[in-house]
Amino acid sequence: MKIMVLHGPNLNLLGKREPSVYGSVTLEEINQKLAELAGELGVEICCKQSNSEGELVDLLHRAAEEADAVVFNPGAFTHYSYALRDAVSAIGIPTIEVHLSNIYSREDFRKHSVIAPVASGHICGMGVTGYLLALRAAAALAGT
- Would you say 102 is a known binding-site residue? no
- Would you say 100 is a known binding-site residue? yes
- Would you say 108 is a known binding-site residue? no
Strands across the sheet containing 44-49 = 44-49, 2-7, 69-73, 95-99, 121-124
Q: How far is CA 141 from CA 22, 25, 38, 41, 72, in A?
A: 27, 27, 15, 13, 15
- Strand, coil or helix: what is 112? coil
Catalytic residue list: 22, 99
- Would you say 7 is a known binding-site residue? no
Q: Which residues contact 96 (CB under 8 A, 6 or more apart)?
A: 69, 70, 71, 72, 119, 120, 121, 122, 123, 134, 137, 138, 141
- Would you say 73 is a known binding-site residue? yes
- Would you say 86 is a known binding-site residue? yes
> Which segments are annotated as binding site for substrate?
73, 79, 86, 100-101, 110
Binding-site residue ranges: 73, 79, 86, 100-101, 110
